[in-house]
Amino acid sequence: MASPLASTELIPVRALNQVTYCPRLYYLQYVDAVMPTNEHVEAGLHDHRRVDEPHLSQRTRKEADADRTRAVSLSSEKLGLIGVLDVLEEKNGESYPVETKHGSAPRDDSGRPTVWENDAVQLCGQAFLLEEAFGTPVVRGFQFYAGTRERLEVPFTEELRLQTQQAIQRCRELAAEDVPPDPLPAELRHRCFGCSLAPVCLPEETLYQIGRGTDSHENEAPAPGITRVIPQSDEGAVLYVQEPGSHVGKRSEHLVIRKEGQELSRVPIHAVRQVVVSGNVQVSTQALETLVANEISVAYLTGHGRFLGAFVPAISKNVGLREAQFRRFADPAERLQLTRAVLRAKLTNQRTLLMRSLRTQGDRGSEEPAARGLADLLRKIDDASSLDTLLGLEGQGAALYFGEFGRFLKAQPPGTGFDFTARNRRPPRDPVNALLSFAYALLTKDCFGVLCTVGFDPYKGFFHSNRHGKPSLALDLLEEFRPVIADSVVLTLINNEMLTPADFLLWRGACQLTDAGKRTFFQAYEQRKATVVTHPVYGYRMSYARMLEVQARMLAAYVRGSVPGYLGFTVR
């Protein structure tokens, strides 16, 4: 579906800079309405602090030998442009725009300072607005680069005017597209470094997937030469609040947890990336407002550890992705293809964990009947012709995997309660199953969060049934990470004797963790998510928490049609 910008909305003049620099950047920012910030964006805002001062806006002041008016707003229905000039300068009867940029001026072959092409186009767009507003020609403007403190004249030649008109037309064309354009070619890839949208765009990963096509899934060597653009690890901590009857409030720049008037803890908001509330805990309206303003989500769990939902910042403006999601996931062939990818990753990771666990106990993991059985199931995936068949393969895989799960556990003295015979849930009836269910609930809330960040509807999935209130797509994404994150945490807690029977409560056949046990679990879970591993396809290293985001973004790229296939995450 075409964006309204294609025919009715005015194009921000600054968008001419982006579309000239990188059409994909323009699409993500102005069509998908994605705008993260990084140190370069922050520095640019700092350099504009004088221009953006409210008391100087639209006021003409005599400065040196010229009259200068800052923050001049102009628009033109005829041109289809709207923008704010940093400075309108008037001198000797001539009016012209002056634009400030954070970076440094480039040099020509002779070492003389010049102006970046995309900056010149933006400045020329401002000249168009001035000419339309005042009816007089604007023959030049000035570009000021704060990095080198250089002010350079930009003549508005016929060639530059034509290039600016073409940039306006290119904006219109891109706004009418359902899919973002491909990333920049190799000779322009240097423009990706320092771009605040690189973690969303994933340029090298996308181009690699385009070139790779929908070929084989196994024994694939990592791609050479791909540069990691998503940070290796998350910044900030996850704040877990579970004390019954406690209250989360805000004071100054801190979250304050209180109970019965007594302060339990105080945490700087800038140090938090997510809040997880478990059980009978209240969060004040002021705290929620501050959290959502800082794009910090609040996940809610029951006292038993079941994921209920999340309070998240305003839904992504990326409606095009959700339209494509509903369209693709309604197609049986598409659902089958995506389910194959996810199930292949899940079975592969289950087999890897099985072989690793049994190998550490002296058994030859790859020769285990269960390992051979999982390998046989993997070979049957491509021949499966229906979702029911794939669901059957998943069930067989779970039976093989959990049939041996008790052997993954380190031998415990009799009576410790960490025996495992079969998977049970709703409710879990023993400590091991209680830990597995709790781990899956936490992983569900993390998958839910990254899907909201990317712009998906987490309730519309392709494999799990779309039942009311069930975050089906979060459960789909969870599948490939169950063994390597959730199951691994459970094994670590038991085999390293980090939990004891005193950390569990048994009541009417149901088993759950105590508050002290949950605190130990939360710590182990976050440590596992922070573990840095190598992506099996792209070859660079990042934490499991970041890997969730990479997989969600590559799923989005497939759903939008930017790449020909989706590959599930596997460990080697």
User: CATH number for the domain including 253?
Assistant: 3.100.10.20
68 shares a domain with 144: yes
Enter the tokens of residue 116. 């970046």
d(CA 251, CA 70): 37
DSSP letter for 188, please: G
Q: What HEC string does 329-351 produce?
A: HCCHHHHHHHHHHHHHHHHHHHH
Per-residue pLDDT of the chain (572 residues; tens, 9 = 90+): 444 344 468 999 999 999 999 999 999 888 887 765 434 444 444 444 445 555 555 567 777 788 889 889 999 999 999 999 999 999 888 999 999 988 889 998 888 999 999 999 999 999 999 999 999 999 999 999 988 899 999 999 999 999 999 999 999 999 888 888 888 888 888 888 777 787 788 888 888 788 765 554 545 555 655 665 555 555 567 788 878 788 888 887 888 888 888 888 888 877 777 888 887 888 888 888 888 877 788 888 877 777 777 777 767 666 888 999 999 999 999 999 999 999 999 999 999 988 888 876 555 555 678 888 999 999 999 888 899 999 999 999 999 988 888 888 876 655 566 777 778 878 888 888 889 998 998 999 899 988 988 889 999 999 887 766 688 999 999 999 999 999 999 999 988 889 888 888 888 778 888 888 888 988 899 889 888 888 887 777 888 888 898 899 999 999 988 888 898 888 87
The tally of CA atoms less than 13 A away on the side-chain side of residue 190 is 2
**What are the structure tokens assigned to 96, written together?**
């012209």
Residues 517 and 465 in one domain: yes
**Phi, psi angle pair for 351, to nearest 5°:** -65, -40
Domain-terminating residue out of 262, 290, 311:
311
518 is written with which tokens?
């949950």
User: 127 with 263, same domain?
Assistant: no
Q: CA–CA separation, 544 vs 474, rounded Å? A: 16
Is there a single domain that holds both residue 49 and residue 102? Answer: yes
Q: Cβ(301)–Cβ(322) under 8 Å?
A: no
- Asked whether residue 231 is domain-assigned, the answer is no
Question: Is position 220 within any domain?
Answer: no
Determine the pLDDT at residue 479. Answer: 94
Tokens of 237: 């901590």
Which one of 258, 283, 311 terminates a domain? 311
- My answer on whether 386 and 434 are in the same domain is yes
Within a domain: residue 54? yes
Q: Is residue 531 part of a domain?
A: yes
Same domain? 141 vs 288? no
State pTM to two decimals. Answer: 0.77
**Is 190 inside a domain boundary?**
no
Of 311, 341, 371, the position where a domain reaches its end is 311
- Residue 548 host element (H or E): helix 544-560
DSSP 224: T
If you compute the radius of gyration of the chain from its CA atoms, what whole number of angstroms results? 28
Q: Is the link from the previous residue into 427 a cis peptide, with omega within 30 of 0?
A: yes
pLDDT at residue 84 in the model: 92
**Cα gap 263→284, rounded to integer Å:** 15
Give the chain's domain count: 3
pLDDT at 47: 46
Q: Does residue 543 share a domain with residue 490?
A: yes
User: Is 119 a domain residue?
Assistant: yes
The residues facing 511 across adjacent strands are: 506
Residue 531 CA neighbour count, 13 Å, CB half: 15
Query: Parallel, antiparallel, or unpaired: how do β-strands 150-155 and 81-91 relate?
Result: unpaired
The alpha carbon dihedral of 56, 58, 59, 61 has a sign of: positive
Structural domain including 78 reads 4-175
For 287, the enclosing helix (H) or strand (E) is: helix 285-293
What's residue 213's pLDDT? 57
pLDDT of residue 546: 86
- In-domain check, residue 194: no
Question: Do residue 281 and residue 357 come from a single domain?
Answer: no
In order, the DSSP letters of 478-542 are HHTTIIIIIIHHHHHHHHTT---GGGEEEETTEEEE-HHHHHHHHHHHHHHHT-EEE-TTT--EE
Cβ atoms of 430 and 402 within 8 Å: the answer is no
* Edge-to-edge strands, sheet with 281-283: 262-268, 254-259, 246-251, 281-283
Q: H helices within 381-430, ranges in order?
A: 387-408
Q: Are residues 353 and 424 in the same domain?
A: yes
Q: What is the CATH number of the domain that holds 30?
A: 3.90.320
Based on the domain organization, do 374 and 521 belong to the same domain?
yes
One domain for residues 139 and 255: no
Residue 230 lies in a domain: no
Kindly state whether residues 260 and 337 are assigned to the same domain: no
